[in-house]
Amino acid sequence: MARHRVTFLPMNVTVEVDESVYPLADRGKPGSLLDIALAHDLGLEHNCGGSCACTTCHVVVREGQANLSDMQADEEDRLDMAEGLTIHSRLGCQAVVRGDVVVEIPR
């Protein structure tokens, strides 16, 4: 049983998740940042329903980049269209939590 802490900024809300109970909210990949945010009633937009078809769940990873799943080609291609793209950007629906992370939801 692996437990991880995920902090969402700018709300400064930290939740603890147990990866043995993924999926949590049935949006995005099981255990993704979007899945976790929705299960804890945190506002992370997801116009496409978490299917990697838009960029509304774009987040910026502030800490713990190595604790997320590797980025696949479809996410990388889609991120090119994200507003405010940084080298630490990920799509919340695709980034699966594997350890403690801090992410910022851009305004």
Separation between Cα atoms, residue 89 and residue 23, nearest integer Å: 22
**Contact at 8 Å (CB) between 57 and 50?**
yes
**Domain extents in the chain:** 3-104
C-alpha 20/C-alpha 91 separation (Å) is 22
Q: Give the model confidence (pLDDT) of 42-53 as tens digits.
A: 989 999 989 999
> 57-93 pLDDT, tens per residue?
999 999 999 999 999 999 999 999 999 999 999 999 9
Q: Quote the percentage of the chain above a pLDDT of 70.
A: 98
Determine how many CB atoms are found less than 10 A away from the CB of residue 40. 17
37 contacts 11 by C-beta, under 8 angstroms: no
- Return the CATH number of the domain spanning residue range 3-104: 3.10.20.30
**How does the average pLDDT of the chain come out, rounded?**
93
| Helix or strand (DSSP H, E) at 16 | strand 13-18
